Structure 1
Amino acid sequence: MGTGAQTADLNLRPEIQTEVETGFDLSMLKGRAAVEFSYFNKRIDDLLVTATLANSTGYGLRIFNGGSMQSRGYEAALRAFPIVTKSFEWNSVTTFSTVNANVLALPVPPFQAPGFGTTFGVFQVEAGKSLTQIVGNDSLPNGQGIVRQVGDANPDFRMGFSNSFRLGKINITTLFDWQKGGEVINLTRYLWDLSRNGPDCNDIAPAPNVTGETVCTRRTRTFARQTRNYIEDASFIKMRELALTYDLPSKLVRRAMSRAESARLTLSGRNLLIITDYTGVDPEVSNFGSQAISRGFDVSPYPPSRSFWLSIDVRF
């Protein structure tokens, strides 16, 4: 049977997903601290894959079952109340996660996700490889060109640090994220280099050097055979959120609103700080959304916005 330019096997069936998850929760110090840990191993068999057909068949693609992939990782959390007194309280939560996805088997030749080709770097689905691998042009020591893996968008790990502090009627909440590893294809930098507007376009490239060649000129000249020129580390530390809350005095609240029981004034900000060696605006940007495959293309997209909020919550 077929629909439009696609056809499917008559015995097409759903994918089969199996998952094993284990872990533990540990409480200590009379509930003042807790450790959570979990491990998961997910496998998907009978993947729905597509194969290109000859035009003479009347269809462009055939959908059928075949192949398998595996995703596994660790998640951990440490929750603690380091300080608890009548006048001051500190609540801390630290999280850790790492996930890896690999293609175990594939009944069709390796294929590439939508992108800009191997010159600029592209995500390739291939048996025995990471699902988030980036392949591109590279050179062997003898100068011969080759297409091979030049990066991976998946980070080594991610950590989160959430802390809240209460001092009387004042509450301060902070949230930091740390990502280690992963790569971004920074084509915004490539566009800057083409117009000679990059920050290092006046810096002379180190030897071996074409006379008078700048750093950005060398990148663009060798880019056709060295995709890595514009692949950068996506590690970062971000302040996701900072909030300051003040519980207004009860007498003042009832004087302003007789039926109100309490009121809280909050000033908060999001995406306030980023620490990274990435030369673009933000290593989390992506022109193709946040999906696992094709994530990490930076071609002048809008970066995450920085926002500030002032709110008042009233309880009646």
Structure 2
Amino acid sequence: MKSSYREALRAGIRDAMIRDERVFLMGEDVGAYGGSFAVSLGLLEEFGPERIRDTPLSESGFVGAGIGAALGGMRPIVEIMTVNFSLLALDQIVNNAASLLHMSGGQFNVPIVIRMTTGAGRQLGAQHSHSLEGWFAHIPGLRILTPATLADARGMVWPALQDPDPVLIFEHGSLYNVTGELDDDAGPVDIDTAAVRRPGADITLITYGGTLPAVLDAAEQLAAEGIDAEVLDLRTLRPLDEASILASVRRTHRAVVVDEGWRSGSISAEISARITENAFYDLDAPVGRVCSAEVPIPYSKHLELAALPSVDRILAAARQAVSAGG
């Protein structure tokens, strides 16, 4: 069937709510308005105000309420409008949700799912456009999911709710309008392993989330030049599927990591380090990285695009790795 990314997310939430009456959705404008990005459109009419709950504009307050509900046996899905606003709930996410199992000596799990929009490319200014999922991937006790396809958008919600620990789902804003075919019987997906979206033999292009379409585009252009690029979609940033990363690099002997986060202290830096630590002698060239410019994301369209990973920059990094490898 034909579906958009936002419709796939809605289908995943709806499926989870049908499966388990403990599941409910809460966040700003998720009810009557249908969600800031129309993901929850129609769910209030179907499930009612007890399970589709509009909240005040207070991220710390409603994330804290979600944590309390999870501790009390419910299965909350908490929507934060953008990743930038999650910083207002950082204490709740990092010091409470991620830490309570450890601090309680294993007595209290926090089975909460927190969804938020991430990424740039839509001229929304710096306070709505950053990619901070790498920050959260630094935190033990959290699972970080980054669905990049319709199937993953549809299928990650229910497995996330089965995790006894907090799960953060990062939805790239540029993907909401993406449409494609979704299997009629689409259901839960694996949230533990990375996925090879395009097999190749000459170089591994490693990415996740909103940069996957650009990486796939670059891979097709590289193929026209005789460079066979493998595209690895990480899907989960914590825990990283290190085995799949290393297996791919050992096949192709070259790697470029594409990450919309900033280069310094990024998830791309972590991936590069792990490749160097564990597959150094399999490499025929240094690991390349394509990241966002180290500036607050600009509002101006041409500056915003210049700051973000682009197909041209991915192509240049891949060509450099292949030429360096002989």
TM-score (structure 2 length as normaliser): 0.24
Question: Taking CA–CA contacts closer than 8 Å with sequence separation of 6 or more, which of the two structures ends up with the larger relative contact order?
Answer: 2
- Kindly name which structure, 1 or 2, has the bigger radius of gyration based on alpha carbons: 1
TM-score (structure 1 length as normaliser): 0.24
**Larger strand proportion, structure 1 or 2?**
1
**Larger helix proportion, structure 1 or 2?**
2
